[in-house]
Amino acid sequence: MKKILLATSALVMVAGAAAAEVKLSGSARMGLIFDGEDTLLTSRVRVVFTMSGETDTGLSFGASMRSDQFGGNQKKDSAGDLLGSSQTGNNDSTVYVSGPFGKLTLGDVDTAAEGLVGHVSGVGLTGLGDWNELRYLGHEKTAALYEYSAGDLTFALSAGQIEDLDGVAANDDAYSVAVKYAPGDYSVALGYETAGGVDHIALGASATFGGATVKFVASDTDISGDPTQYALSLDYKVDAATFTIFATDEGTTNNYGIGAAYDLGGGAKVVGGIVKVDDSSVDDTIADLGLSFKF
């Protein structure tokens, strides 16, 4: 009888393993970065675990996490001290379930507006401060994102709590809704966010013509004195090389970047960029150059 039970248990375990899948991927980079004053060495390694499965009724589920974020589920108080294990703290991990009803994801997700409208293209090996990105209201690391697609149309809705933001109290509820239409080589997207009495709207569009892709994003809040923000980028691909330029206009802040990437094959690229930062607190030219790897 014991042998029959053991054999049955083994079959159940094998069947369960066949229905689920765990994938390992990662990225790394190495090179030089000029921070406006000094030239420094830079490197980073990331490992991503992606898990997926399916129920007997065809319901899909899965999760992902990054190995460089161990301890990310520990929340900190306003002084930066650890509060111990938290059910709401998170960092770069998600859990989802999907089916004919759409996809529901909990964890470190973007707001609906940021996910569908997004940003223009950036440059550089390290991102060079991500000055190509316009500001979204965002939310704390554990939030909910619902997505539903029908043909070329995608709808998204998210809910969470607001991160620290000028003029908005932390821990206020944050909500966002967005829609995107992407038939073929162009797309348009509109997103709305609200948190702590602040409303934010973002509009994005992109188009591809042969080897060129143009992206545009406009963003505006109802915070007094907060200017409308604009961003534009152009990516141009020639054989194994991709050239990128971007510009952002945030009122008193205007940033510009130019960069290039050359695909060496096998997941390796030579990547570099230069960004002119014209912020109220920063006025520098920064740059980087090196190798990036995908595994």
Q: Which two tokens stand for residue 114?
A: 């940021």
pLDDT digits (tens, 9 = 90+) for 128-143: 999 999 989 888 778 9
Between 7 and 284, name the one with better pLDDT: 284
Give mean pLDDT, residues 174-190. Answer: 96
Give mean pLDDT, residues 67-88. Answer: 48
Which residues fall within 8 angstroms of residue 253, CB to CB, at 6 or more apart?
278, 279, 280
15 pLDDT exceeds 70? no
57 pLDDT exceeds 80? yes
278 pLDDT exceeds 60? yes
Query: What pLDDT does 142 receive?
Result: 84
202 near 188, Cβ under 8 Å?
Answer: no
Give mean pLDDT, residues 253-277. Answer: 96
60 pLDDT exceeds 60? yes
Between 284 and 177, name the one with better pLDDT: 177
Query: What pLDDT does 131 receive?
Result: 92
Query: What pLDDT does 163 receive?
Result: 63
Query: What pLDDT does 253 receive?
Result: 81
Fold (CATH) for 24-294: Porin (2.40.160)
Between 231 and 66, name the one with better pLDDT: 231
∠ CA 238-239-243, nearest 5°, is 35
For residue 38, CA distances in Å to 32, 33, 35, 43 come to 10, 8, 6, 16
Query: What pLDDT does 161 receive?
Result: 85
pLDDT digits (tens, 9 = 90+) for 214-260: 999 999 998 888 889 999 999 999 999 999 999 999 887 889 999 99
Q: How far is CA 278 from the centre of its chain?
A: 24
Query: What pLDDT does 269 receive?
Result: 98
Q: Picking from 80-94, 172-186, 218-232, 233-247, which range would have the lowest pLDDT averaged per residue?
A: 80-94
